[in-house]
Amino acid sequence: MNRSAVLIAIVAAFGLSACTSTSAPEQNSAPAVEQPAENTPPPARNVAEVDNRLGYGALKLGMTLEEATAAGLTDLTWDSDGDGLCVGDDEVAISKKYGVVRITLPKEAKTSKGIGVGSTFAEVKRAYPSSSEYRAGWSSPIDYTAGYAFIGSSRTEHFTDTDEVVQITMGLSGADCAMYLL
């Protein structure tokens, strides 16, 4: 017999026995349970969803009175002064149908474009080119659901570029609250 043929036969026999030499697993044995390492962190917890509604801080447009009250953001109740459809105070107006429809920004707050109490209407128009004058100041859409109201002094009927913003509110478009609540 040829030496290489003998060598191939030996290697083949050795390889075959090496592959079949392990014992088969027992049919009735329980699967191995993997033990966690001592320094393994606990499984992740459910994280609260982020509220991406427009708003100021934790107070969001569309938030129900119950949500705002539970979060400690208002002490209004449906028995508070209102028109039957809405309740409101200096900081917020809430509709039974739409939730928070108006948020009055604090005096030190600024919009994302830097407009705050004390800004001139010229600055408002530069920052918000789509803004327009209305009876109390200038308004500007934030998106298709809400907008800002940049309110001027009540002693003026028409606002000039040098007149200043005295209050800023953000509100839902199409709110059903009476004007005195907005």
Structural domains of the chain in order of their starting residue, each with its CATH number = 55-181 (2.60.460)
11-23 CB burial, b ≥16 within 10 A, e <16 = eeeeeeeeeeeee
Spatial CB neighbours of 6, under 8 Å, sequence gap ≥ 6: none
Structure tokens at 94: 């809430």
| Residues 63-84: tens digit of each pLDDT | 999 999 999 999 999 988 777 8
Q: Residue 172's closest CA among 68, 106, 102? A: 102
Point out the residues of the chain with pLDDT beneath 50.
Answer: 1-26, 29-34, 36
Q: What is the DSSP string of 9-25?
A: HHHHHHHHHHHH-SPPP
Q: Which residue has the tokens 């809405």?
A: 86
Pairing of strands 146-151, 167-172: antiparallel
pLDDT digit string, tens, across residues 157-178: 778 899 999 999 999 988 888 7
